[in-house]
Amino acid sequence: MGSVGAKEVPVLLSADGRRIDGRRLDELRPIRIQAGALHQADGSAFVEWGANKVMAAVYGPREVHPRHLQQNNKAVIQCRYNMAAFSVDERKRPGLDRRSQEISKVIGEAFESVVFAEEFPRTSIDVYIEVLQANAGTRCAGVVAASVALADAGIPMVDLLPSVAVGKIGGAIALDLKKEEDNFGEADLPMALVPQSGRLVLLQMEGHMTEAELAQALDLGVKGCRSIHETMKQALRDRYAVAPLAGGSA
Ligand code: UDP
């Protein structure tokens, strides 16, 4: 532990390039995705990613509420990201604060880029993201969960939307920050990628990076997204895999 004033700052990167949880700079935390985790929703997914636990539920296309949001030429995508009061160390006040409103907005806009909304005019596609346990990168885990939930609901999309945060810790660019790295690191850069086109449809940044570091971070993030994409596809395969016919010949 080093110290800045009265605040204890953990050493985020050891001399041999290991992070506080032993990962290399380009390593993701373990991810497990379960498609179709809820019965009531039209589509759902549960994501455990490091110590994050995030549930997503999708309803629709269905009638638009409130009515005045209805659009004649396409579906509206309404996204709500919410953090449970018990999801963080210091109890979070329940309800929508500015942070969750911002995250809901950027995630909703990211999905507008991939969902074929014009196929469902005058309807709403409602995406609920509930963070049950948070350890940094929850908006990315939310995008991943919501994306698999949309696919599970049968909503037509250009592609799934893998997402990850890249950051800068101890002067180095690192993939998939955990809480201490997010809190004490120099920068945090969440992103979401359309794998097919390579287009980024969500990109935010907190902190500072040089232009060269930003290029390196984007490159690392894209690689991370491509790996997460495989896990997302596998989760859907696991859900919809057709069992071989009994008695069928080889
Ligand atoms: N966090 C918290 N209380 C809050 C908001 C965030 O403890 O009210 C923690 C939580 O672990 C979260 C992390 O800080 O995952 C980083 O939050 P950030 O706003 O960067 O969003 P995220 O990385 O989760 O997308």
In which band, very low, low, confident or very high, does the pLDDT at 151 lie, cut at 50, 70 and 90?
A: very high
What is the pLDDT at residue 247? 66
pLDDT, one tens digit per residue, over 14-33 is 999 999 999 999 999 999 99
Residue 204, ligand 1, Cβ within 6 A: no
Residue 236, ligand 1, Cβ within 6 A: no
- Residue whose CA is at the smallest distance from ligand 1 atom 4: 92
Residue 87, ligand 1, Cβ within 6 A: no
Residue 136, ligand 1, Cβ within 6 A: yes
Residue 2 has pLDDT above 60, yes or no: no
**pTM: predicted TM-score of the whole model, two decimal places:** 0.95
End-to-end distance of the chain based on CA atoms, in angstroms?
Answer: 61
Residue 183's SS3 state is: helix
Residue 243 has pLDDT above 90, yes or no: no
Contact 192, 163 (CB under 8 A): yes
What's the CA-to-centroid distance between 143 and ligand 1, angstroms?
15
CA 11 to chain centre: 27
Q: Best mutation site among 182, 203, 206 for ligand 1, i.e. most ligand atoms within 8 A of its Cβ?
A: 182
143-152, 222-231, 238-247: least confident range: 238-247
Q: Tell me how far apart the alpha carbons of residues 145 and 33 are, in angstroms, rounded to a whole number.
A: 8
What are the chain's domains? Answer: 31-237 (3.30.230.70)
Residue 182, ligand 1, Cβ within 6 A: yes
What is the pLDDT at residue 245? 77
Q: Angle formed by the axes of helices 138-152 and 98-112, to 10°? A: 40
Distances (CA, A) of 65 to 75, 77, 108: 12, 11, 16
Residue 137: Cβ within 10 Å count? 28
Q: Tell me how far apart the alpha carbons of residues 190 and 206 are, in angstroms, rounded to a whole number.
A: 9
In which band, very low, low, confident or very high, does the pLDDT at 250 lie, cut at 50, 70 and 90?
A: very low
pLDDT, one tens digit per residue, over 201-218 is 999 999 999 999 999 999
Q: Which atom of ligand 1 is nearest to the CA of 141?
A: 25
What's the CA-to-centroid distance between 87 and ligand 1, angstroms?
10
- Residue whose CA is at the smallest distance from ligand 1 atom 16: 136
72-81, 87-96, 148-157, 220-229: least confident range: 87-96
Listing DSSP states for 118-164 in one string gives GGSTT-EEEEEEEEEE-SS-HHHHHHHHHHHHHHHTT--BSS---EE
Q: Tell me how far apart the alpha carbons of residues 56 and 144 are, in angstroms, rounded to a whole number.
A: 9
Residue 185 has pLDDT above 80, yes or no: yes
